[in-house]
Amino acid sequence: MNYSKGNNYHIFNRGANREPIFFNEANYLYLLKLIKKYLKKYDITLACYCLMPNHYHFIARQNSDAPISRFLQTTFNASLKQ
C-alpha cells in the first residue's frame, strides 16, 4: 500500500482466531506508552483509538514522508519484546 503525507488512515488488527491480544491492564498501558513514544519519532497524529481485548482501531494522520507503516512496525515489534 502507498502511504502519503497528509492523509488519514484507519488502522486495525485482530488477534488470530479472535484470541485476546491484551491480557491485563499492563498490556494496554505498555502499548499506549510505545504509541506515545513513536508518534513523535514518525510525526504521526493520532485522532482517536480504541483498544479492546482482541483487537484495536486507530485513526491516524501521516504528517511526514515516512510511511505510517514504519510507525506501526516499530511500535508493534517493540510491544512484542515486553
- Residue of 3, 2, 5, 10 whose CA lies nearest to 63: 5
Q: In 33-52, which positions are buried (b, 16+ CB within 10 angstroms) versus exposed (e)? A: ebbeebbeebebeeeeeebe
Whether the pLDDT of residue 82 is over 90: the answer is no
pLDDT tens-digit readout, 51-78: 999 999 999 999 999 999 999 999 999 9
pLDDT score for 44: 98
Query: In the CATH scheme, what is the homologous superfamily, with its name and number, of domain 8-80?
Result: Transposase IS200-like (3.30.70.1290)
Q: What is the pTM of this model?
A: 0.87
pLDDT tens-digit readout, 29-53: 999 999 999 999 999 999 999 999 9
Whether the pLDDT of residue 2 is over 90: the answer is no
Can you give the residue ranges of every domain in the chain? 8-80
